[in-house]
Structure 1
Amino acid sequence: MLFVPADSERKLAKSVESEADVLILDLEDSVADSRKAGARGSAAAFIGAQAATLASRLFVRINQLDTALAMDDLAVVVIRGLAGILLPKIRSAADIVHLGHCLDVLEARAGIVPGTIRIVPVATETPQAILGMQSFSTPLPRLAGLTWGAEDLSTAVCAVSNREEDGADSPLYTLANSLCLCAAAAAGVPAIDTLHADFRDAAGLEAACRVSRRRGFRGRIAIHPDQVATINAAYSPTEAELAHARRIVDAFAAQPEAGTLSIDGQMVDKPHLTQAVRTLGLAA
């Protein structure tokens, strides 16, 4: 999911060439208050112009929901071609429900099929959100995924940094990462990892992505176009993983009543079959 500042005509134009699965037209942190009105117009114009070719990929990050800015954002950008909203600084799943009600009205106004526009919240940017992550314990209408963030959470708790002196994540942010994974699984949606701030550090990004994928994340936020190829490769199954998954699926298909089987010298059971099917699904 690639962030694109909505007030930059140059970056908007360049984003069309990106291989990111989602383009997030940003109206929040990357846009100064004095430029937000113009950015809304630019985002809407871009969505309208690209609706035919990029409709399933166009999201907008609006401003915080409990501000007038958010309502102003939604009034302009909810048009045909908008696929979703990235919602920052939530407090609980109740904010998803609230935004959903707003979208019900705005979709009707725009002649959009009800429920079309999806929501991905940044689920850990406030202390209230951390304390309320259990609110994602069941599926929610419109929810398409969960991501998390550390920078705004650091500010909220008055932390000097979100890292320890050795560079490791501080415990609060390790917790936020884990809660995002669990909440996404409980809600039945993909978990999307947070950004890798040093966009020039391709090796560090690749290493972080591989750790992230092993833990269960299905993708990552990108803040620069050069990060997209690394992210796409890191979260895609390797040929060896696909071959192993096919062997598991084929073996259980040949012996549908078996509870456990031996594959490549290891015992596998139904959870391994579930994971194998999921791996093949990612490749498809």
Structure 2
Amino acid sequence: MIPRSFLFVPADSDRKLARGPESGASALILDLEDSVAPDRKPVARAMAAAWLRARDPTPKAWVRVNALDTGLAMVDLAAVVGARPDGIVLPKCQGAADLARIDAALSALEAREGLPDRAIPVMPLVTETPAAMFTLGAYAGAPRLAAITWGGEDLAAALGARSNRLADGTWDEPYRLARALTLFAAGAAGVPAIDTVYADARDLEGLRAECEAARRMGFVGRMAIHPAQVAVIEAAFAPTEQERAWAARVVAAFEAQPGAGVIALDGRMVDRPHLVQAKRILGTG
């Protein structure tokens, strides 16, 4: 199961590393990239590895490395793989070829550390450069792919935009497109889609509304930049009791008639796509 909420934590902050597990987030992302100044990168790597080695099993702990074109990603991986992170977040991913590069590096490091091959999954940020937008349909079958997420801030900077949102707070057109294509990319690759951060940490109502819309569209979770956002994200993406009850009945109905393609349930016809949806709700598919 991919976590519902991912909270970014600067890996060079003792205070934020200590408080991260108290947030209630399903997973933390120990950040070695944007939230860490260049001269603090070595410190952040060492602190991330030490924290990972000393941590409790929950919450899950992923690491966002630096982008491949910085020359720092492989140094980041070499520093943290031995501490067994639950996953790697790859920023500014340009396409499936970048996942192949990360896969090769991780396999070598896993062998060095005595870990099973491909024990560490990867979640790429797939819309942070204009060029990446043209590769979103090619992630199916990419190695280690656990989920797909997107980012609007780096994309806005790359486009020279003054803002990525309209006056009413909704995404402007290029970023609505990036968000939608991320959802399609994840669906085509058969992995979950995770929504990007909501930059205004004070606007919890805006976050709640956007999370509810994201879940309706098919996203299964969201990244957070502040602990106060976590409870909103968790509540918005958690299945309701009514949804779980419906899902359990759909699964039970198909188990009772394993050869059926369509089944009548409560006067409505449910078919195999509904079974897939039901299993996702229950966390079994």
User: Under a length normalisation based on structure 1, what TM-score does the superposition of the two structures give?
Assistant: 0.92
Query: What is aligned with 1:203?
Result: 205
Given candidates 9, 17, 21, the residue that maps to 2:26 is: 21
Superposed CA RMSD in Å reads 1.9
Given candidates 249, 252, 268, the residue that maps to 1:250 is: 252
Query: What is aligned with 2:281?
Result: 279
Equivalent residue of 1:139, what SS? coil
Distance 1:23 1:252, change over 3 A: same
Q: CA deviation at 1:89?
A: 0.6
Query: What is aligned with 1:81?
Result: 84
Aligned partners of 1:123 and 1:148 also within 8 Å: yes
Matched, 1:219 2:224: no
Counterpart of 2:219, as a letter, is F
Q: CA deviation at 1:258?
A: 4.6
Matched, 1:62 2:65: yes
Q: Which has the higher contact order (CA 8 A, sep 6+)?
A: 2
Distance 1:41 1:259, change over 3 A: closer
Q: CA deviation at 1:24?
A: 0.6
For residues 259 and 74 of structure 1, the distance between their equivalents in structure 2, rounded to whole angstroms, comes to 46
Query: What is aligned with 2:129?
Result: 126
Given candidates 164, 183, 186, the residue that maps to 1:184 is: 186
Query: What is aligned with 2:238?
Result: 236
Equivalent residue of 1:24, what SS? strand
Q: Which runs of 5+ in 1 are unaligned?
A: none
Given candidates 54, 57, 66, the residue that maps to 1:49 is: 54
Q: CA deviation at 1:164?
A: 2.7
For residues 180 and 147 of structure 1, the distance between their equivalents in structure 2, rounded to whole angstroms, comes to 7
For residues 236 and 58 of structure 2, the distance between their equivalents in structure 1, rounded to whole angstroms, comes to 25
For residues 54 and 145 of structure 1, the distance between their equivalents in structure 2, rounded to whole angstroms, comes to 20
Q: Which runs of 5+ in 2 are unaligned?
A: 1-5
Number of equivalent positions: 280
Aligned partners of 2:7 and 2:225 also within 8 Å: yes
Aligned partners of 2:201 and 2:225 also within 8 Å: yes
Output one character per residue of 1:216-242: Cα deviation in whole Å (capped at 9) or x when no partner: 111100111122122111111101111
Distance 1:167 1:161, change over 3 A: same
Q: CA deviation at 1:56?
A: 7.8
Equivalent residue of 1:85, what SS? strand
Q: CA deviation at 1:210?
A: 1.1
User: Under a length normalisation based on structure 2, what TM-score does the superposition of the two structures give?
Assistant: 0.91
